[in-house]
Structure 1
Amino acid sequence: MATGTNIRTYFNGTWHDSDVPIMTAADHGAWLGSGVFDGARFFDGVAPDLAAHCERVNNSARALMVTPTVTADEMVEIAWEGLRSFEWGNAVYIRPMYWAIDGDITAIVPQPDKTGFALCLEEIPMAASDASVRLTRTRFRRPVLE
């Protein structure tokens, strides 16, 4: 779902200057939902907590039994490499992602050596500096195993 402009995608070890297709219909992640992503922002020449976002996507992958194939440090390097092609001052959404490609004999558990990885960079403006949000609290919460 592209919502911005000027999209660059790192896939199969190469940068592509477009929103390239990265999954097939039979990929485990497409039909069984074994995919994860995290989102970071680049603005005013900085990408706050980029390393933490990259570490979190690896942790999320492991939580779904998807084997991470890129270290957080490597992801940070890949992101900065791609960000160099954007004009200074443009805000960019940074999305590292993983998905399982194949499942084991049960078709449920992802195969550890079959993981897809991509990193998408997409120009999406930041909210205006004077924008505001109203927050509230509620007694309701998501159901969790206790």
Structure 2
Amino acid sequence: MPSDLDPGSTIFFTLTIDGESLGYFNGCEGLSSEVEIEHHQEGGNNGFVWQLPSRVTYSSIRLTRPLTPDTAKVAAWVSSITTGVTRPTGQIAALRADGSVVAQWGLLDVLPVRWQGPSLSPDSPAVATEVLEITHHGFTDAGAA
């Protein structure tokens, strides 16, 4: 199979908030949604219970990467919450090693909820990583983000 058609070769992700790139990430978890189901029993109907869609919930998304100069952009965005909450649109794109896009997701009303910096210790000389956790109100057309 040619590498440009291999859907499983995602290597890294980009996060863009209102058109401004916050850089590349090598891990992304939590791109999911769930439809809550309401059960309704209809009188006289003993064959089944109606299962009706209710709310849609979206999980938080965790993006991880080694520390980069783009960390300052993330810190500035997280710190901007103290001056007032704005909920911009965002976009996450999954990229192959050559930079071509595998898939992308537009996000509505994005809000940073947690940033975790590296643990710096001489006892454990591992790669210094950061984790950014964001929440959103749903998916949108990725091209519009």
Q: TM-score with structure 1 length normalisation?
A: 0.26
Higher strand share: 2
Structure of greater relative contact order (alpha carbons < 8 Å, 6+ residues apart): 1
Higher Cα Rg: structure 1 or 2? 2
Higher helix share: 1
